[in-house]
Amino acid sequence: MSEMNAAHKRELDSTGYVVIDGFIQGDELSQLREAAAAAEQLTRSHRWPHRRVVGKQFPPWSDADTPDSWGLRLPQFRAFYANTRLTALAAGLIGCDEGALQMELFNMLILPAKTSFNLSWHRDHVNHAIEAEAEEQALRVPHYGIQFNAPLYDDGCLWVVPGSHRQVRNHIQRELSCNTLPTTNPALMPHAKQVHLKAGQILFYNANILHCAAYPQSPPAPARATLHGSFGDANGGSERAVGVLQHGLEWMKEPSFGDGPGRHMWLRLLDMYEKAGWDEKGGKFSLTE
């Protein structure tokens, strides 16, 4: 690992997230913006049904849930996700060999067209209703993965509590994150910080950092197209499965989806699906509504 990447790893371990400048530049940024506009149009016209929707934080989602989406099957996105610049960095931050990476969540975050909304404060691999003692134990369990946000336009939607990936919530934090109700004001959370990302930066974060998001209606909000995804260490087994398969990735099992860059990572995802069928944790997801 290079000295710079080692510094990124130390910051990630300390604060729960790290921002890297200039990850997407020039022609790549322009091409991804064009692809983002096409993907948004496909989704809003209901020609791409696999999307997240306003008013429902956790899956499953159906196209009938609501007409307002916030969500990839375009080649530009697949090439970005499988690019060795990204996979090598992700593997280093996870602390695994690049050959052990598995394909996981990858979508695009946009702004809702009809109504503003917020997510609840949550951790992706620790249930919101868990008691303090169990929470402390859960935070000690490695979850063998890393998540990222890569904004194609400036983005200030994400809020985090730095260091909370290693800290049990205090009583005020618990009151503000003990259910899945949308937060009315993220700034009320003790020690909360709004993360302001510039176009072309990339943010990696520990999925157990306490975080939420606030999505203003667009327009008149500025454009937003942020690539959001995760990679996992295939050695994580059931600990990884309970946090990933809850996102409703069944459509990724289609054989045609495996054709293209990153096929080796896709095969590991299928292997995780197969093992989750008989593993003792199969079907027991990290989060529930």
Q: Do 62 and 251 touch, CB atoms closer than 8 A?
A: no
Residue 4: count of CB within 10 angstroms of its CB:
9
Query: Is the N-terminal amide bond of 60 cis, ω within 30° of 0?
Result: yes
Return the H-helix or E-strand segment holding 211. strand 211-215
141: tokens are 């369990």
pLDDT tens-place values along the chain, 289 residues long: 678 889 999 999 999 999 999 999 999 999 999 999 988 888 777 766 665 555 555 555 555 555 443 335 578 899 999 999 999 999 999 999 999 999 988 888 988 888 888 999 999 889 899 999 999 999 998 889 999 999 999 999 999 999 999 999 999 999 999 998 999 999 999 999 999 999 999 999 999 999 999 988 877 777 899 999 999 999 988 778 877 876 666 777 778 778 889 999 999 988 988 887 644 444 444 544 4
Angle between helices 263-276 and 237-244 (to 10 degrees): 100
Cβ contacts of residue 76 below 8 Å, gap of 6+?
A: 31, 32, 34, 35
Torsion of CA 5, 207, 84, 157, to 10 degrees: -90
> Residue 137 CA to chain centroid, in angstroms?
23
Q: Do 230 and 146 touch, CB atoms closer than 8 A?
A: yes
pTM of the model: 0.87
Could you give the domains of the chain? 3-276 (2.60.120.620)
Q: Do 177 and 132 touch, CB atoms closer than 8 A?
A: no
d(CA 159, CA 92): 24
